[in-house]
Amino acid sequence: MASRMTVKSKSLVIKNGKVLLASGELVEKNLLLENGRIAKIGAANRAAVELDAAGAYVLPGLIDIHTHGIGYESSNGSLKAYAEKEAARGTTTFYPTLFGPPEVSAGHMRRHIEETDNLRALPQIGGFRLESPYLGRTGAGISTDLAPISKATTNMLMKAGGGKIKIWDFSPELSGAIATIASLSRAGMVCSLAHTRCTIAQARQAVEAGARLVTHLFDTFEIPPTTDPGVYPAGLVDYLLIEDRVACEIIPDGTHVDPLHVEKTFRCKPADRLVFVTDSNFGAGLPSGDYVLPQGWGRVRINGSNNGVRLIDRKMALAGSAMTPIDGLRNAVRLFGRDMAAASRLCSKNAAGLLGLNKGEIAADRDADLVILDSNLDVLHTIVAGKVIYSRG
């Protein structure tokens, strides 16, 4: 049985934990957290509140830059309930991802900003992500979710987002995409290549304009046709794998992307240019079983976190990811054979670096966003800005 615990003190000492240092070492250290930051590593002054980690792992908090929902909550609903469920999965920062018609997404952002005091009430939320409307193909969406690129639509969405849109997805082949990517990139936004049929030349133009992310690599990317018998064609994915200027997201459940492709990506991309995401939606994090999900999803079956959410009435078609961020960390270790330092980099540090966050590693003066895990990699405590926001009862 889980419970929430909020510590009001401005200082907190975490004792007796196996701390993952920025160097990649796991060492037994105490941590002193003060005023939302990591103040000291090692011998720490006594604080008003002490938390005994009792030999558990103390890691940077998990960051999910692509998530549409979890359980029965979504980016279209209550962000407070969404954030609570994310906290129970070790998530200290996430970006609610909107996929819908422009006016609908704008309405959700306005409501979220009003309900959360401009997101200040929910420090887990790093900002919004817009996966639509500027896409060449829908993937799991519908055609009304998409719209041509225009200054009017862009300005309307920017105004509705109140400066909180941090990631915006684009298909580079659309008219106006390159100029808009350049403009938003100069303004500090992360632009991502997504749902595209673009050529390698068009993708390179987008990268030159400032695009620095690729949305769920391999998923919604087409395999290039063979034009000459026996000649292996070079495709868009091949270019993105060797383009060091872009980070690539991967949904690491072994279902959305075959483990062989994940291993290929490990070997191609620089260590700081691969980010594990959940792309989660309704159903993610629920125990195995059959459910009726809201907003027209209907009957679905979940068989563990790695098999996706399946539509019972549509021949068990894959409808989305069943993962949460802690599942991604476990898979980095158990499915893909990475050590704890590499797993944390995939699930925290690389995303923080991409977004320019003062998070993602345990070092002095970094934000005190941490997760404490037992030996089975289950979440014991989640800490945001030095405050315990979740504890397993």
3-state secondary structure 64-114: EEEECEECCEECCCCHHHHHHHHHCCCEEEEEEEECCCHHHHHHHHHHHHH
pLDDT above 70 coverage of the chain, percent: 96
Residues 281-340: tens digit of each pLDDT: 999 999 999 999 999 999 999 999 999 999 999 999 999 999 999 999 999 999 999 999
Torsion sign, CA atoms 359, 70, 320, 162: negative
Asked, as a colleague might, if the bond just before 133 is cis with ω within 30 of 0, I would say yes
Q: Residue 233: is its pLDDT beyond 60?
A: yes
DSSP-derived secondary structure letter, 42: S
Q: What are 97's two structure tokens? A: 């991802």
Residue 6, pLDDT score: 44
Q: If you search the block for the tokens 């009862």, which residue do you land on?
A: 393
Residues 18-61: tens digit of each pLDDT: 999 999 999 999 999 999 999 999 976 666 789 999 999 999 99
Q: How many CB atoms lie within 10 A of CB 145?
A: 20
Mean pLDDT of 87-113: 98
Mean pLDDT of 138-165: 92
Residue 45, pLDDT score: 67
pLDDT category, 140, cuts 50, 70, 90? Answer: low
Q: If you search the block for the tokens 């103040």, which residue do you land on?
A: 39
Q: What are 218's two structure tokens? A: 């391999």
Q: Residue 8: is its pLDDT beyond 90?
A: no
In DSSP terms, which residues pair with 37 in a beta bridge?
34, 367
Q: Give the ranges where the chain is alpha helix by DSSP (H).
A: 79-87, 102-115, 151-161, 177-186, 200-209, 236-242, 259-268, 325-334, 340-344, 350-355
- Hey, do 2-58+369-392 and 62-284+317-355 end up sharing a CATH topology, with the first three levels equal? no
Q: What is the mean pLDDT of the chain?
A: 95
- 263: Cβ–Cβ under 8 A, 6 or more apart, which residues? 336
Q: Virtual CA dihedral for 21, 251, 65, 224, nearest 10 degrees?
A: 120
Q: What are 181's two structure tokens? A: 């990517």
Residue 7, pLDDT score: 41
Query: How far is it, in rounded angstroms, from Cα 17 to Cα 306?
Result: 29
Residues 169-184: tens digit of each pLDDT: 999 999 999 999 999 9
Query: How far is it, in rounded angstroms, from Cα 242 to Cα 250?
Result: 15
- Show me where the domains of the chain are located: 2-58+369-392, 62-284+317-355
Contact 371, 88 (CB under 8 A): no
Residue 393, pLDDT score: 82
Give residue 151's identity as a one-letter amino acid code: K
DSSP-derived secondary structure letter, 125: B
Mean pLDDT of 217-228: 92
Q: Is 37 exposed, middle or buried (0-12, 13-18, 19+ CB in 10 A)?
A: middle
Mean pLDDT of 261-270: 98
**CATH code, 62-284+317-355:** 3.20.20.140
Q: What is the C-alpha radius of gyration for the chain, rounded to an integer number of angstroms? A: 21
Residue 44, pLDDT score: 65
Burial 376-389 (b: 16+ CB within 10 A, else e): ebebbbbbbebbbb
Residues 338-355: tens digit of each pLDDT: 999 999 999 999 999 999
Which homologous superfamily does the CATH classification assign to the domain defined by 2-58+369-392? Urease, subunit C, domain 1 (2.30.40.10)
